[in-house]
A and B are shown apart, each in its own frame.
Chain A
């Protein structure tokens, strides 16, 4: 390839082709242990399922354009919203940032050649594909109509492919655990010489906190899902009162994983934002330790709040009060992070490139998502709002808005590093605006729908709710237009020749010190950390072990 020749001519003693080029062929990709290739395959898989889940979302919004039947019947609707939720949660949001961007960027940020267990990493991708295939195969068994939460005894008594879907989520859990184990080992053992814990980029802290949750909480979900299978297949009474079980027990088990899982979704998003904001403010991060410890605090507190999903499920008054009280503490590290990011921008040198636009969009959407959580953490307001569209809107602001917008921020940030190419910046700005407007148009009306009393998972609704549903549906089209535009200009970037500089944004972390795209082994030799990850001073203070350098 001509680019390769150019590089060789640029004065390198030994020329290495970049990781995209060498080795060639589909087989080399399918058997690769390169974290960057695995990261990209994860990314495209996640984007594919995002498209599928997104189409289901558009179908849901279209159905809700009018009360009663619009384009599908109630049974189909229930299957569509279940698939939307299950695909988006298990196949998109949970792996989106850790498995896709994390795999690509984490070793680069640490100055490592690869993750600690490259084969386990590839195994995690195959486990993910297996789980995904199982989830899609449920369609052939008549679909699943339980909602992604699989509440018993509905899920143990209804027909369709529930058993297969539950097993799919079980299998997908392992891909998540593999990634978590890998990241923890990588962060502990493979940091570049000179990189102490507090010289790590904050992205790595975010990944570390996420990985802790992945390995500690996911097994609980796995066991719970197996118990459902035992009840459905063998008739063992665990959750169904007809068989002597307790349906509320399931909710405790389920949320013991699934609430921490919410932080599997948001911590990586915060991790991306902590990289993007300093780079495009050309200023050191404000409150490094506060942000790092906030990530860990959120991860640990996340284990103590699960029953705030159950304030109206017949829990005792005392339990309700404890869980509400603990839930409020999550607000503090979240607020600290937001203020630290804004303080980082303060007196910076702010460049509004696409990743920064997405980061700002994240800050605004996360502010709404976070604050509307207060309504649901407070006991008396939650009683009114629980299981209404208010909750739907709140978790879309946090999980869809914040997580996916951070995913887009990260993709735009590392795209030049991934492919050595740049997208059309003007189109990127337009689509960022469309996504922001479309997202708010879709979900702001849903807050009002909820506070006025519209319950969630409703196929039919009373005519008084129609205006707001129409507004929300129109918003979903604007959002879709923005996302399709993003897909179009990102794909169009492949028509550009590869020619990005190693450090197009002027970042200070290690991934910008290697070529764009990097070689298979990331760096020429072992990089040594010379300065802090966000040190933008003209003469940065040296860190680490100097004697190791060369």
Chain B
């Protein structure tokens, strides 16, 4: 019945998967069984004892202690088994191994920021080495967010003013999707991140040089990638639709009127300043809500964004 599990659950890619999937499928079969069991009893009763005359007399059965004990104690035994099973998996996901590599993950409307042991920082893309325990220390800068990796069967809230923890050992190289699962406002459903499970060599290269493929990308394409993955797309559209921030369509070489009433030419310096010091000049009619990207984008990524915006006529 593997097809049924594969239909219900996403790919499994961490050491927590086995425990959780086993219990999940157990309860699933229990649910399916009792649905059909109860359904069959009801169907049988309705067919067998359908009223044919209003004069029918039914037996006066008030209770049956033995039967009632059976249908109280058997469910009790089953749910206690489920409790212990669930507890076992939870303890495992709770107790972090001592040798786990620590990465700090901070949620803020509507991006995830990661800081690695060597000081490297990334936005929305988390690189981890395969087959090595990783501990994420979660916190938030504004409201509550929640860090959810379905393929690892893991989730933990990121709470402002507190630290929560999450740990995993990724078992399959590849990309795992991350969602925010605590409602956090307009950009909630776009607050996505990805976990890149790297081989040890890939991971070393990443720490040294950043992502390999990204290195080779033309600036313009890099800019689009940054727009998609670093949270720009949540607020800035490419087609002129008004979002949380101004659309980027056709803004190059145009003038923006700031909240201060002055006009500003949209050129390379303007874009650079808007990315690194977004509060310095806010376009009229928009809220000053953009977080700074200081230290979060590589020089080449900023250049990429400038090239990308240039092309958006």
Within 8 A of A (CB), among B1-59: 7-10, 16, 19-20, 23-24, 27, 30-31, 34-35, 38-39, 41-42, 45-46, 49-51, 54, 56-59
Interface readout for A444-456 with B: 1 if CB under 8 Å, 0 if not? 0000100111011
Q: Does the CB pair B160–A332 fall under 8 Å?
A: no
- Taking the nearest CB of chain B, how far is it from the CB of A80, in angstroms? 13
Closest chain B residue to A316 by CB distance? B94
A460 near B: Cβ within 8 Å? yes
What is the bound-complex CA distance between A74 and B188, given in angstroms?
9
A interface footprint on B136-156 (CB within 8 Å = 1, 0 otherwise):
000000111010101101111
Q: Is A61 on the interface with B (CB-CB < 8 A)? A: no
Report yes or no: A386 in contact with B155, Cβ–Cβ below 8 A: yes
Instruction: Give Cα A242–Cα B159 distance, bound, in whole angstroms.
Output: 12
Interface contact B155-A347, CB-CB below 8 Å: no
| In the complex, per-residue mask of B155-170: 1 if CB is within 8 Å of any chain A CB, else 0 | 1110111101000000
Contact of B85 among A248, A348, A380 (CB under 8 A): A380
Task: Please classify how large the interface on chain A is, using the bins under 10, 10 to 19, 20 to 34, 35 or more.
Answer: 35 or more
B186 touches A151 (CB 8 A): no
Interface-side segment among B119-127, B176-184, B271-279? B176-184
User: B189 an interface residue at 8 Å Cβ cutoff?
Assistant: yes
Q: A368-B31, A384-B155 are in contact. Are A78 and B10 (CB under 8 A)?
A: no
Q: Which of A302-354 contact B (CB under 8 A)?
A: 311-314, 317, 320-321, 324-325, 328-329, 331-332, 335-336, 338-340, 342-343, 345-352
> Which residue of chain B is the closest to A145 with respect to CB atoms?
B185
User: Do the beta carbons of A384 and B20 come within 8 Å of each other?
Assistant: yes
Q: With A331-B79, A345-B45 known to touch, is A455 a contact of B50 (CB < 8 Å)?
A: no
| Inter-subunit contact A364/B38 (CB<8 Å) | yes
* A295 interface contact, C-beta 8 A: no
**In A49-84, which residues have CB < 8 Å from any B CB?**
74-75, 78
Supposing A154-B144, A350-B45, A448-B8 touch, asked if A375 and B51 sit within 8 A by C-beta, the answer is: no
B46 to A383, Cβ gap below 8 A? no
Q: Are B155 and A383 in contact (CB under 8 A)?
A: yes
Given contacts A332-B79, A451-B24, A506-B54, whether A379 and B89 have CB atoms under 8 Å apart is yes
Is the beta-carbon distance between A367 and B34 smaller than 8 angstroms? yes
B27 & A375 in contact (Cβ 8 Å cutoff): yes
Closest to A242 in B: B160
Stretch touching chain B among A89-97, A121-129, A208-216, A279-287: A279-287
| Contact in complex: A387, B27 (CB < 8 Å) | no
Most buried by B among A314, A347, A457, A538: A314
Separation in Å of the A453 CB from the closest CB of chain B? Answer: 3
B9 contact set on A, CB distance < 8 A: 451-452
Closest to A342 in B: B41
Within 8 A of B (CB), among A376-409: 377-384, 386-388
Partner of B71, one of A147, A246, A329, A339: A339
B87 within 8 A of A: yes
* Of the residues B7, B41, B62, B144, contact of A151 by C-beta under 8 Å: B144
Choose from A146, A282, A368, A382 the contact partner of B56 (Cβ within 8 Å).
Answer: A282
- B interface residues, tally (CB under 8 Å): 82
Asked if A290 is at the interface (CB within 8 A of a chain B CB), the reply is yes
**Shortest Cβ distance from residue B75 to the other chain A in the assembled complex, whole angstroms:** 4
Q: Is the CB of A286 within 8 A of B61?
A: yes
**Chain A residues, CB < 8 A from B232:** none
Least distance between B298 CB and chain A CB atoms (Å):
27
Residues of B within 8 A of A29 (CB): none
Asked if A158 contacts B185 (CB within 8 A), the reply is yes
Question: Is B68 interfacial (CB-CB < 8 Å)?
Answer: yes
Residue of B nearest to A372 (CB): B31
Chain A: which residue is nearest B149 at the CB level?
A453
The reply to whether B181 and A335 form a contact with Cβ atoms under 8 Å apart is no
CB distance from B73 to the nearest CB of A (A): 9
List B contacts of A507 (CB < 8 A): none
* CB-based contact B90/A383 at 8 Å: yes
Cα A453 to Cα B49 in complex, Å, equals 44
Q: For residue A482, which residues in chain B have a CB less than 8 angstroms away from its CB?
A: none
What is the CB-to-nearest-CB distance from A246 to chain B, in angstroms, rounded to a whole number? 8
Which of B56, B82, B148, B157 contacts A378, CB < 8 Å?
Answer: B82
A404 to B304, CA, bound (A): 55
CB contact under 8 A between A342 and B24, given known A328-B82, A374-B30, A451-B8: no
A461 touches B189 (CB 8 A): yes
Chain A positions 212-255 with a Cβ under 8 Å from a chain B Cβ: 241-242, 246-248
Question: In the complex the two chains form, is B35's CB within 8 Å of A371's CB?
Answer: yes
Distance between B210 CB and nearest chain A CB, rounded to angstroms: 25
- Check B181 against A345 for contact (C-beta < 8 Å): no
Q: Is the CB of A386 within 8 A of B181?
A: yes
Assess whether B286 is interfacial by the CB under 8 Å rule. Answer: no
- Minimum C-beta distance from A342 to chain B (A): 5
Residue of A nearest to B31 (CB): A371
Instruction: State which of B86, B143, B148, B151 has its C-beta within 8 Å of the C-beta of A380.
Output: B86
A15 within 8 A of B: no
CB of A199 within 8 Å of the partner chain: no
From B80, B157, B164, residue with most partner A Cβ within 10 Å:
B157
The answer to whether residues A284 and B61 also contact, given A339-B71, A462-B177 and a CB cut-off of 8 A, is yes
A–B Cβ pairs within 8 angstroms, 13 of them: A314-B156, A324-B90, A331-B79, A347-B49, A349-B51, A377-B86, A378-B85, A380-B89, A387-B146, A387-B182, A452-B150, A455-B189, A458-B189
**Given A154-B144, A349-B49, A386-B181, 7 new contacts (CB under 8 A):** A78-B185, A145-B186, A336-B71, A348-B58, A377-B82, A448-B7, A456-B183
Interface residues of A (CB under 8 A from B): 74-75, 78, 145-147, 151, 153-154, 157-158, 241-242, 246-248, 281-284, 286-290, 311-314, 317, 320-321, 324-325, 328-329, 331-332, 335-336, 338-340, 342-343, 345-352, 360, 363-364, 367-368, 371-372, 374-375, 377-384, 386-388, 448, 451-453, 455-462, 506, 535-538
Binding site for A on B (CB under 8 A): 7-10, 16, 19-20, 23-24, 27, 30-31, 34-35, 38-39, 41-42, 45-46, 49-51, 54, 56-64, 67-68, 71-72, 75-76, 79-80, 82-83, 85-91, 93-94, 142-144, 146, 148, 150-151, 153-157, 159-162, 164, 177, 179-190
